[in-house]
Structure formats: structure tokens, C-alpha cells
């Protein structure tokens, strides 16, 4: 394998990229734009949820209970309603996410030692937000019950004292419970999967479509040198993207990196080589730029979103699907980045995932060389 010929192939790819401004935009700007859009748009935190209160009791106790919802950052009581019809209209038009219905004998039942009930109607069209709202309602109600019991005891002539269990909760990882801290590592893995695979998916197929492959085959350049030269070009540019991702996480999204920065860079380069190799493989198989780009986007984006653990917990999937997830490199890289960003673990905990990525890279490179030799 000649270093001089590899450099020539790589230099040719650089010239092509810098002559085509659209390719440069795909390589540099598109990943940054996607990371910004997804980073700010995808949030799991429940804040300032608009709710309505239908208070049939209109008593001191009912107003006090409803005020507890307005006192948190999770809810804003924007509507005080008088009929179910008003409440239904607001839910249908997506102006509120929850209705708190307090019945007319709310205060009377509380004062006579009855367990009174309130109705909570939650918009279930978004199950993630609905589940979070339900948890907040349970917590606010529990706090109100505690305050009410303490009020009764203070004003009672009977001296009652009792102990209570007070949980002191600490989140071991992601102590601030910011959703962006959890989402950012997965977003980086997904964007790198799509962009890296897409870039190299056009390299070999472009040579076939423009007719330059027929000119390249009779030359002394071997199939290994062609693949290596093309990979080297996009690998170097991909490293720039990795550096941009690390800086964006630190200074734009303020995601704390608990682990070693050099390890993030190291594992990102391994994953980058894996996805670039996959793109080359698709490009050799399809021989068409349009078909290559479509196949690569489909086989990288959908598995990265659905089967990497980024959105859905892999342990909650059917066993067959869990086994299928091992076929996709994004699964391993998501685990690696979350381990480094959230847990601060070292290579001793991540070497298995890294080993799988290296294994896939080697297999894909071998397949690329064999298939390209066969096609040529």
C-alpha cells in the first residue's frame, strides 16, 4: 500500500469538497444546526404547564389547595373555570394540559374527617408530560395533606406526637436533573451516525456515476488505497465536527463532562471510523448516489433513534428487539457518551462497548475492500 497514492486520493477528495460548498455545509453546518435544534427542542422537564381550576367549593381550603399548584415552577394556574364545557374547550384547543376539579363539599368533608376526593383531568396525548404531571400532582397533594394534618394537630386540645419517615433523596448522576444533560450525549451519537454515514455513502457511488471510476481502475491504485484515501479525508473533517460537539456541550448547552475529555475524543474517533466505513460499504453496494443516501439515512437515523437507548430504554423492549439492538453501533456509543458525561467512568467500564465498535469497523473495512475488488 503506497502512502503517496493514498495522499493523492485524499487530496482529490479535499479538492472536490472545497469546490462544492453544499458538501461543506453538510459536513460542518448541518450537524451544528441539528444539535442546536434538537438540544433546545427536546426537553423532558415539566415547567410552566398551563392548567385550569374548576372550583365548585370556592372555600378557603379549596383556594389554599389550588394555590399550591401555582406555587411551583411546574404549573401555572392560568384559568379559573366555572363549567366543564369551558374546561373541555381549553383541553381540546391545547391551551391547558390539566384540569383540577374541586367538588362543592371539599372543605366540609375535610373538616369532618372524611377522605375527600379531587378530580384531576390530564391531557394524555403526550404520555411523557402526562406522567410527569401525575407525579407532580401526587407530590403537591401529599405536601398539602401533611400541612393540613400539622394544622389540625396544632389547633387540637389533644397532645399528639408521632414520628415520621423523611427520605433524603440524592441523585447520584445528573444531580440537577436537567434533561439536556441526559439528551445531549445521545444527540451527538445520533447526529454523528447520520452525518458520517451520509458523507461517505456518496464517495464511491459518485465515482461510478461520473465515470471517473473507469479511469481510476486501470491505474496502479489498489482498492485498499482508494478506500483508505477517501476515508482519511472525511475522517479528518469528522474530527473537526467532534471538537465542535465537545465545545458546544461545554459552552452552549453547559453540559458538565464528568469524565476525561481525551476519552470522549478517542471513542468518538472510533465511532466515526465505524460509521464512515458503513457509508463506504453502502456506496460500493448501491453504485448510485441517490440510492446510497436514502439507504444510509434510513439505516442510521431510525435505528439510532429507536434502538440505541436514546429515547426508549432497551431493557423495556421485547427480548428479540434487545438482541437486534446489538447490531447497531449507535447503541454502544450512546452508552459510552452517557458513561463519560453523566457518570465520569473510565476506560475500565467502557472497553467492551469500544471493543464492539472496533470489531464493527474492522469487519466493515474488510467487506468494503472485498466487495470493491469484486465490483471493480
Contacts of 191 (CB under 8 A, 6+ apart): 31, 34, 35, 38, 245
Compute CA 207 distance to the chain's CA centroid, rounded to the nearest angstrom. Answer: 35
Cα dist from 49 to 27, 118, 132, 177, 181, whole Å:
38, 19, 11, 18, 21
Q: What is the per-residue pLDDT for 109?
A: 81
CA-closest candidate to residue 135, choices 117, 120, 145, 150: 120
φ and ψ at 83, to 5 degrees?
-140, 160
Helices (H) and strands (E) in the chain, counts: 16, 4
- CA dist 247 and 243 (Å) reads 6
Question: One digit per residue, pLDDT tens: the chain, 376 residues?
Answer: 677 877 787 877 777 777 777 767 767 787 888 888 877 777 666 778 899 999 898 888 888 888 988 888 888 888 998 888 888 889 888 889 999 998 888 888 877 766 788 889 998 877 778 888 888 888 888 888 888 777 776 766 555 555 556 666 677 777 777 778 888 888 888 888 888 888 788 777 777 777 777 677 677 777 778 888 888 888 888 888 888 888 888 888 888 888 899 999 999 999 999 999 998 888 888 877 778 888 888 888 888 888 888 877 888 888 999 999 999 999 999 999 999 998 888 888 899 999 999 999 999 988 988 888 776 6
Region for 113 from its dihedrals, namely left if φ exceeds 0, alpha if ψ lies in -120 to 50, beta otherwise = left
pLDDT at 337: 92
Supply the pLDDT for residue 352.
Answer: 93
- Report d(CA 132, CA 128) in Å as an integer: 6
Distance linking the first and last C-alpha atoms of the chain = 18
| Distance, CA of 46 to CA of 179 (rounded, Å) | 10
Run of H or E including 81 = strand 75-81
Please report where in the chains the cell 479535499 appears, as a residue: 14
Would you say 136 and 104 are in contact if contact means Cβ atoms under 8 Å apart? no
pLDDT for residue 357? 94
Spatial separation of the C-alpha atoms in residues 373 and 376, rounded to whole Å = 5
Global pTM exceeds 0.85: no
CA–CA–CA angle 102, 107, 110 (5° rounding): 110
Residues 245 and 329 sit within 8 Å (Cβ to Cβ): no
DSSP string for residues in 271-325: HHHHHHHHHHHHHHHH--HHHHHHHHHHHHHHHHHHSSSSSS-GGGS-HHHHHHH
Amino acid at each position: 500500500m503506497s502512502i503517496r497514492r493514498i495522499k493523492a486520493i485524499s487530496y482529490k477528495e479535499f479538492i472536490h469538497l472545497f469546490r462544492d460548498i453544499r458538501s461543506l455545509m453538510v459536513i460542518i453546518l448541518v450537524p451544528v444546526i441539528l444539535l442546536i435544534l434538537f438540544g433546545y427542542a427536546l426537553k423532558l422537564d415539566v415547567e410552566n404547564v398551563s392548567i385550569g381550576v374548576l372550583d365548585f367549593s370556592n372555600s378557603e381550603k379549596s383556594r389554599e389547595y389550588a394555590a399550591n399548584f401555582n406555587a411551583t415552577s411546574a404549573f401555572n394556574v392560568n384559568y379559573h373555570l366555572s363549567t366543564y364545557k369551558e374546561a373541555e374547550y381549553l383541553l381540546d384547543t391545547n391551551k391547558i394540559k390539566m384540569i383540577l376539579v374541586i367538588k362543592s363539599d371539599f372543605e366540609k368533608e375535610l373538616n369532618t374527617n372524611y377522605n375527600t376526593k379531587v378530580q384531576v383531568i390530564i391531557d394524555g396525548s403526550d404520555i411523557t408530560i402526562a406522567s410527569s404531571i401525575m407525579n407532580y400532582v401526587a407530590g403537591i397533594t401529599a405536601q398539602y395533606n401533611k400541612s393540613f394534618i400539622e394544622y389540625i394537630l396544632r389547633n387540637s386540645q389533644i397532645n399528639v406526637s408521632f414520628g415520621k419517615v423523611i427520605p433524603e433523596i440524592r441523585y447520584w448522576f445528573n444531580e440537577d436533573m436537567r434533561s439536556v444533560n441526559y439528551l445531549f450525549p445521545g444527540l451527538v451519537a445520533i447526529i454523528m451516525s447520520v452525518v458520517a454515514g451520509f458523507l461517505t455513502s456518496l464517495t464511491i457511488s459518485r465515482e461510478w456515476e461520473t465515470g471517473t471510476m473507469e479511469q481510476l481502475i486501470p491505474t496502479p491504485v489498489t482498492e485498499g488505497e482508494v478506500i483508505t484515501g477517501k476515508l482519511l479525508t472525511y475522517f479528518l473533517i469528522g474530527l473537526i465536527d467532534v471538537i465542535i460537539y465537545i465545545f458546544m456541550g461545554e459552552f452552549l448547552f453547559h453540559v458538565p463532562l464528568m469524565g476525561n475529555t481525551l476519552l470522549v475524543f478517542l471513542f468518538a474517533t472510533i465511532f466515526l471510523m465505524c460509521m464512515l466505513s458503513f457509508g463506504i460499504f453502502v456506496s460500493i453496494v448501491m453504485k448510485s448516489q441517490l440510492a446510497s443516501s436514502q439507504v444510509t439515512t434510513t439505516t442510521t437515523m431510525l435505528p439510532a433513534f429507536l434502538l440505541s437507548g436514546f429515547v426508549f430504554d432497551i431493557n423495556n423492549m421485547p427480548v428479540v428487539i434487545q438482541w437486534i439492538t446489538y447490531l447497531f453501533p449507535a447503541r454502544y456509543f450512546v452508552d459510552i457518551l452517557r458513561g463519560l458525561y453523566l457518570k465520569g467512568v473510565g476506560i475500565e467500564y467502557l472497553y467492551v462497548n469500544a471493543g464492539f465498535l472496533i470489531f464493527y469497523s474492522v469487519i466493515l473495512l474488510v467487506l468494503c475492500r472485498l466487495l470493491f475488488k469484486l465490483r471493480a
